[in-house]
Structure 1
Amino acid sequence: MTTPVKWALIGASNVAQEWMIDAIRSQQEGIICTVFSQNAERGKAYAQANGIPRNTTLLDDILQDSEIQAVYISSRNEFHKEQALAAARAGKHVLCEKPLALSLDDAEDIVRVCHERGVVLGTNHHLRCSAVHIALREQLRAGAIGNLNTVRVFHANCLAKSVDGWRLNDAGGGLILDSTIHDIDTLRFLLGTEPLSVFAMTQSGRKSVSGIEDGLMAVMRFPGDVLVQIHGSYAVPYAPGGIEIYGDKAALIARDCMSQKPVGSLALRNAEGEQPISLTHHNLYRYSVARFLGAINGKGTPAATGEDGVASLRIALALKESVRTGQEIKVIPS
């Protein structure tokens, strides 16, 4: 039998409450022992509401607990670096929400320290865990659409009041590092390559405070002269999310798949019309945690590795630089 892995939650977050607590507990080897929150009252209420035995306001309580083997970090973006490095240096495996950090150097430091300490590092990019995107990648690898030409990504929605907060009001938030970075990771997962350059324009002030982006249109150029368009927003209700991938022989159309939920459809469109592709949906977060625990047990890698987290951040920061300068920005590979 597999030895149970005891977890600590770093951050009393909505994403943990809605998705990750269930995902960890769904695995036979996953036990949540404690939750860290800087706010003692929130941490206590959160622990009670979610059946977590302990809560703490001191990160050292987790770092010094020899029973804790893994941490899930879903605190505010600006805290990821400090918390991930501390956990790794204490010998804890780290599953961290995106972005790994707010700078590329800091994200690369996290990867380096995790390697040095021999702990598993995963970036919680959930969209690549979707059955739709897994099937999309399989279709592309099988040559279903011929030579790749163009991709369009639609990931516009209306951010719920319960989760807006710092995303709309803080320099560590904004659409690019919170949402578009998922689109970037999904594109890397699907296409298996990195963009050569990016260009973006953003909107601000529809839901966010002025200066924090809440809408985006971006264009990326991938190898082979492939162009990719992304539309992202926090302020567009009722917009269908999806990905359209066009080749010289056919197109793949994925609908309603830019979601945390196990939903969406996939179809191949060619001269004969549109044919649906059969899918077996699964919980994205349970899939992610299962892959992470497998990596801890020496079986494969996390669904998205630390290196994947660094790569998606590199591209996201290039988008932010394009917005700042109004210029097309080359993406410098690692």
Structure 2
Amino acid sequence: MSVKWGLIGASTIARQFMINAIRAQEGGEITVVMSSNPERAKVYAGENGIPLAVSSVDDLLNADIDAAYISTTNELHLEQALAAIKAGKHVLCEKPLALTSADARKMVAAAKAAGIVLGTNHHLRNAGAHRAMRDAIASGRIGKPIAARVFHAVYLPETLQGWRITKPEAGGGVVLDITVHDADTLRFVLGDDPVEVSAFAQAAGMAGSGLEDGAMCIWRFKSGLIAQSHEGFTTRYADTGFEVHGSEGSLIGRTVMTQKPIGSVTLRTAKGDEDLSFDREDLYVRSLRQFHAAIRGEGHPSATGEDGVWSLTSAEAALQSAGSGKAVKIDPKLGSMK
């Protein structure tokens, strides 16, 4: 079965990861790319072997496509996704799905009503490392999970800084860029949902316009587990990691909060340390394989639209907490969307 894709946004992430991931699928091809800048669209299409370049969403949706991948700036996601859904195209959208969880819920409802597959491109749950951690927890290898720690403070390269550190209206800032990923990865690995968050945000010298470029969050989960996460754009020399500590053991993931299938996971128990083996498949190739399967009616995207609503709601709560100085409850009504 062939799946013809249109790219809404001539983006860095599409060039670095998604174009290859789509073409790695049997029957996966990219027929058109759209950028609001016609010259950029034309150059991008030429550089990446895409047959057609257009400068409007309508032109892209009128082309020969089955699915749209959206990687424009965050404030454009809602309108573009709703247009694609209305046109009967399946949608894989970058996170956050929208600027607000209310808008993200509109996308989920529209896709459901239209019988369209909607996925959120949360890449980290496709990593072999996180899947190995999830499996170890689910099989009881660390006993009852008690606490978790996420280290996801990095240095944002100059090529990606732009709107992320200058435009609040585009959904800039580290919380909507990275905390959404950490909330999703915690949910996935733990098999548990956050119910409350307390957050501090900082402007450490990179972001302007009132945006935050660093955040630390404390999360409380439904099971009683507590977690901490550190997100940043300005920590040039930090490493990334993900730890889960249980009553009978700990899982220690090193260099795993990344777009590449790297890192290690150690299981530490009374018996000593055991390095867990896991596959090194490209995270985006796995994401696309599951998305294509969902189009065929086989299962769901690795991260659904509902997952995207959860992560955005969690990030919204973190921003609200950072602004108010108080812990914020995470909307329990989401439980019915799982």
TM-score using structure 2 length: 0.96
Quick one: which amino acid aligns to residue 131 of structure 1? G
The answer on whether the counterparts of 1:91 and 1:119 sit within 8 Å (CA) in structure 2 is: yes
Find the counterpart in structure 1 of residue 215 from structure 2.
216
The answer on whether the counterparts of 2:192 and 2:223 sit within 8 Å (CA) in structure 1 is: no
Find the counterpart in structure 2 of residue 319 from structure 1.
318
For 1:147-166, list aligned pairs within 5 A.
147-166=144-163
How many residues are matched? Answer: 331
The answer on whether the counterparts of 2:217 and 2:230 sit within 8 Å (CA) in structure 1 is: yes
Structure 1 position 223, deviation (Å): 2.2
The answer on whether the counterparts of 1:168 and 1:207 sit within 8 Å (CA) in structure 2 is: yes
Find the counterpart in structure 1 of residue 56 from structure 2.
58
Structure 1 position 224, deviation (Å): 3.1
Find the counterpart in structure 2 of residue 18 from structure 1.
16
Q: CA RMSD in A?
A: 0.9
Find the counterpart in structure 2 of residue 308 from structure 1.
307
Q: Kindly indicate whether residue 85 of structure 2 is the aligned counterpart of residue 88 of structure 1.
A: yes
Find the counterpart in structure 2 of residue 249 from structure 1.
248
SS at match of 1:164: helix
The answer on whether the counterparts of 2:31 and 2:52 sit within 8 Å (CA) in structure 1 is: yes
Structure 1 position 64, deviation (Å): 2.2
C-alpha distance after superposition, 1:44-96 (max 9, x if no partner): 1111111111111121112223x211000000000000000000000000000
Find the counterpart in structure 2 of residue 285 from structure 1.
284
SS at match of 1:274: strand
SS at match of 1:213: coil
Find the counterpart in structure 2 of residue 268 from structure 1.
267
The answer on whether the counterparts of 1:204 and 1:210 sit within 8 Å (CA) in structure 2 is: no
Find the counterpart in structure 1 of residue 36 from structure 2.
38
The answer on whether the counterparts of 2:167 and 2:209 sit within 8 Å (CA) in structure 1 is: no
Find the counterpart in structure 1 of residue 73 from structure 2.
76
* Range 263-272 or range 213-222, more displaced: 263-272
Unaligned 5+ segments in structure 2 are none
The answer on whether the counterparts of 2:179 and 2:231 sit within 8 Å (CA) in structure 1 is: yes
How far apart are the structure 2 equivalents of 1:118 and 1:205? 45
Quick one: which amino acid aligns to residue 20 of structure 1? M
How far apart are the structure 2 equivalents of 1:322 and 1:275? 38
Structure 1 position 299, deviation (Å): 1.0
SS at match of 2:110: helix
How far apart are the structure 2 equivalents of 1:78 and 1:210? 16
SS at match of 1:34: strand
How far apart are the structure 2 equivalents of 1:95 and 1:224? 31
For 1:101-120, list aligned pairs within 5 A.
101-120=98-117
Quick one: which amino acid aligns to residue 241 of structure 2? G
How far apart are the structure 2 equivalents of 1:249 and 1:179? 30
SS at match of 2:141: coil
* Range 236-245 or range 6-15, more displaced: 236-245
SS at match of 2:155: coil
Deviation above 2 Å: which 4+ runs of structure 1? none
Find the counterpart in structure 2 of residue 187 from structure 1.
186
SS at match of 1:218: strand
SS at match of 2:194: coil
How far apart are the structure 2 equivalents of 1:243 and 1:119? 34
How far apart are the structure 2 equivalents of 1:224 and 1:80? 33
Structure 1 position 117, deviation (Å): 1.1
How far apart are the structure 1 equivalents of 2:224 and 2:134? 19
TM-score using structure 1 length: 0.97
Q: Kindly indicate whether residue 159 of structure 2 is the aligned counterpart of residue 169 of structure 1.
A: no
The answer on whether the counterparts of 2:153 and 2:232 sit within 8 Å (CA) in structure 1 is: yes
Q: Kindly indicate whether residue 97 of structure 2 is the aligned counterpart of residue 100 of structure 1.
A: yes
Structure 1 position 203, deviation (Å): 1.1
The answer on whether the counterparts of 2:204 and 2:234 sit within 8 Å (CA) in structure 1 is: no
The answer on whether the counterparts of 2:243 and 2:253 sit within 8 Å (CA) in structure 1 is: yes
* Range 55-64 or range 203-212, more displaced: 203-212
Structure 1 position 210, deviation (Å): 4.6
Identity of aligned residues (%): 48
Find the counterpart in structure 2 of residue 227 from structure 1.
226
The answer on whether the counterparts of 1:205 and 1:211 sit within 8 Å (CA) in structure 2 is: no
The answer on whether the counterparts of 1:199 and 1:329 sit within 8 Å (CA) in structure 2 is: yes
How far apart are the structure 1 equivalents of 2:306 and 2:131? 19
C-alpha distance after superposition, 1:257-299 (max 9, x if no partner): 0000010111111223221111221100000000000000111
* Range 47-56 or range 84-93, more displaced: 47-56
Quick one: which amino acid aligns to residue 297 of structure 1? R
The answer on whether the counterparts of 1:205 and 1:212 sit within 8 Å (CA) in structure 2 is: no
